[in-house]
């Protein structure tokens, strides 16, 4: 069971890293330091990207808050 738990912690850490990258990308977009990677139908507002990044980060934050 311990190996399964460690694997899920690794998955949650990966999700946290992905969420952190989305939040950083959204912040850079919101202050106009970079241009969007995509144009047209695939372009998203920075607020939507930031919210998605925070939602992706939630499982790891919840697990790390456990005693």
Q: Has residue 30 got a pLDDT over 60?
A: yes
Q: What is the pLDDT of residue 14?
A: 86
Instruction: Return the pLDDT at 21.
Output: 87
Say how many Å lie between the first and final Cα of the chain, rounded.
18
Residue ranges of the alpha helices (H) in 2-45? Answer: 2-30
Percent with pLDDT over 90 in the chain? 0
Is residue 30 within 8 Å of residue 61, measured between CB atoms?
A: no
Integer CA distances (angstroms), 65 to 14, 35, 43, in order: 17, 35, 34
How does the average pLDDT of the chain come out, rounded? 78
Whether the Cβ atoms of residue 27 and residue 45 lie closer than 8 Å to each other: no
């Amino acid at each position: 069971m311990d190996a399964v738990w460690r694997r899920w912690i690794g998955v949650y850490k990966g999700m946290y890293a992905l969420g952190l990258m989305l939040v950083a990308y959204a912040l850079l977009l919101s202050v106009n330091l970079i241009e969007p990677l995509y144009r047209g139908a695939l372009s998203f507002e920075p607020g939507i990207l930031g919210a998605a990044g925070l939602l992706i980060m939630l499982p790891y934050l919840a697990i790390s808050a456990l005693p």
